[in-house]
């Protein structure tokens, strides 16, 4: 061979050989790697949501996924999701909440100041006789339990023309199942007082079984505690300490009002372990219930009862869904944050918690009788016009005698939804869930109030031509 040609060939071989070796090593690192588990959504900034999509690409054994940024329609991104406007009413008694609503109204004769406080001058404020409706107890709070009812006294200070006056007040509240004999707390409101000083029902806190007529205050409200966010942070810190978790081992977020957690394990870091050995169908429910009992304060499952829901194991994960038992009734909601379920995704080989979502609702008194019968619920839907969209525009369908109406289940359930009047409250009703089939391929799931017969929610599930 020509010496000059031989030199050129050896030089080319020397340049290509390292690259070829590197290519082989990279290929080996990605052998068998399937990039089909993108990261959960994140907030790029306060107004932009970034989502990741499968399939991804493998490089040197590490998966990366394509992403897309989208501005939040409501203008706020928090904990990996777009959220609506958050009312700013902390420390305010009245005035606008910054989201088009109000932080409250002053009583007659009082004016709302620019600082969001009620100025009543020398006029003494009025308070309702039922302690449940008292917004706050200013000074000298004292409570006693007499014959199962709370008897409360307090006073307020008034300053008129430089002179201080003290106005005394009192209220009472009949607790359904008795009250704490030696209550020494100082509640933030009448609602907090009733929650803390009234005793729960024996064996089941919650539903009244024998009320007459629609009671005042129906639907029932669960009001978010004033210190809910700090309490959640305390629970979160205790949960991480118990499991030895670092700041970035799991992505943890929460929902408002009930402050139930959602968590996703990151690709590295320790697992939250549900026992020892392989996690399979033989004891998946028992292990899941042990976790929800031991960490009940964090998952918001303490004191609640559950029934087995869905259990499926397909390597490498098992999915466990438990349904909340609300004093013998199931829970439903159009919002998964309050649908009454607990969902766990567990890595089988390590018995490690990969994802968790809780949508449980707190137990508060919910009237149960008198209720519409199932037939009466069906009759209330007759003539109802339901709307749906197809590619060619808006359509309507009318429920008639020919429509197929199925109650799922046949008995009422507890329907939970954010209150339309209070941004910090969860509204609880008793409802029938009705599957409505108007025509082939055209159906709805409707929630009908089982007490007054009003339509609470409707979800279309249909096939357009």
Q: What would the 3-class secondary structure string for 95-120 be? A: CECCCCCECCCCCCCCEECCCCCEEC
CB 365, CB 220: distance < 8 Å: yes
- pLDDT tens-place string over residues 126-159: 899 999 999 999 899 999 999 889 999 999 987 6
**For the chain, which residues make up each domain, given as ranges?**
26-82, 125-199, 228-358, 374-462
Give the bridge partners for 273, in sequence order. 352
Token pair 């406080």 in the structure block, residue: 117
Report the distance separating Cα 235 and Cα 301, nearest Å: 13
Confidence of residue 20 (pLDDT cuts 50, 70, 90): very low
* pLDDT value at residue 386: 83
For residue 223, pLDDT over 60 is answered with yes
> Can you name the residues that pair with 460 across neighbouring β-strands?
444
* Residues 6 or more apart in contact with residue 302 via CB below 8 angstroms: 293, 296
Two structure tokens written together for 194: 């009733």
Q: Which fold has domain 228-358?
A: TATA-Binding Protein (3.30.310)
Smallest CA-to-CA distance from 179 within 148, 151, 203 is with 148
Tokens of 401: 């005698």
Q: Is 139 exposed, middle or buried (0-12, 13-18, 19+ CB in 10 A)?
A: exposed
Mind listing the pLDDT tens digit for each residue in 291-336?
999 999 999 999 888 998 899 999 899 999 999 999 888 999 999 9
Best mean pLDDT range from 1-5, 170-174, 207-211, 369-373: 170-174
In whole angstroms, what is the distance from residue 293 CA to residue 316 CA?
25
Check pLDDT > 60 for residue 26. Answer: no
Phi then psi for residue 360, to 5 deg, are -75, 155
Instruction: Determine if the peptide bond prior to 370 is cis (ω within 30°).
Output: yes
Per the DSSP assignment, residues forming a β-bridge with 112 are: 118
Q: Is residue 450 a contact partner of residue 412, using CB atoms and an 8 Å limit?
A: yes
Read off the tokens for 65: 């996924």
Angle, vertex CA 452, rays to CA 449 and CA 454, nearest 5: 55
């Amino acid at each position: 061979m020509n010496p000059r040609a031989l030199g050129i060939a050896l030089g080319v071989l020397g340049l290509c050989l390292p690259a070829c070796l590197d290519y082989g090593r990279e290929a080996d690192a990605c052998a068998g790697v399937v990039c089909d588990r993108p990261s959960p959504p994140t907030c790029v900034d306060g107004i932009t949501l970034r989502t990741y999509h499968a399939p991804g690409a493998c490089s040197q054994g590490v998966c990366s996924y394509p992403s897309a940024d989208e501005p939040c329609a409501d203008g706020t991104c928090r904990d990996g999701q777009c959220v609506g406007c958050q009312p700013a009413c902390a420390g305010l008694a009245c005035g606008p909440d910054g989201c088009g609503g109000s932080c409250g109204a002053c009583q007659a004769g009082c004016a709302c100041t620019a600082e969001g406080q009620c100025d009543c001058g020398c006029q003494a404020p009025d308070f309702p006789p039922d302690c449940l409706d008292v917004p706050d107890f200013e000074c000298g709070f004292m409570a006693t339990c007499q014959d199962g009812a709370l008897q409360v006294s307090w006073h307020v200070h008034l300053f008129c023309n430089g002179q201080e006056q003290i106005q005394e007040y009192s209220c009472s509240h009949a607790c359904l199942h008795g009250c704490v004999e030696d209550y020494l707390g100082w509640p933030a409101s009448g609602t907090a007082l009733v929650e803390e000083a009234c005793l729960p029902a024996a064996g089941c806190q919650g539903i009244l079984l024998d009320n007459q007529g629609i009671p005042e205050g129906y639907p029932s409200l669960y009001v978010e505690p004033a210190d809910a966010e700090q309490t959640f942070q305390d629970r979160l810190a205790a949960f991480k300490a118990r499991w030895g978790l670092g700041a970035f081992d799991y992505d943890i977020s929460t929902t408002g009002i009930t402050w139930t957690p959602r968590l996703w394990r990151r690709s590295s870091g320790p697992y939250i372990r549900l026992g020892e050995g392989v996690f399979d169908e033989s004891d998946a429910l028992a292990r899941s219930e042990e976790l929800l009992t031991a960490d009940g304060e964090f998952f918001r499952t303490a004191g609640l009862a559950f029934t087995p829901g869905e259990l499926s194991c397909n390597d490498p994960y098992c999915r466990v869904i438990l349904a909340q038992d609300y004093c013998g009734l199931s829970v439903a909601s159009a919002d998964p944050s309050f649908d009454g379920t607990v969902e766990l995704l567990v890595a089988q080989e390590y018995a490690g918690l990969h994802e968790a979502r809780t949508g449980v609702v707190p137990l508060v008194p919910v009237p149960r009788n008198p209720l519409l019968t199932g037939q009466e619920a069906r009759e209330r839907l007759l003539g109802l016009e339901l709307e749906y969209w197809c590619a060619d525009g808006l359509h309507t369908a009318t429920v008639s005698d020919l429509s197929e109406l199925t109650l799922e289940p046949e008995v009422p359930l507890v329907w939970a939804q954010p209150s339309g009047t209070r941004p910090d409250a969860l509204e609880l009703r008793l409802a029938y869930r009705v599957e409505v089939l108007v025509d082939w391929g055209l159906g709805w799931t409707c929630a009908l109030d089982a007490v007054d017969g009003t339509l609470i929610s409707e979800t279309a599930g249909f096939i357009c031509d």
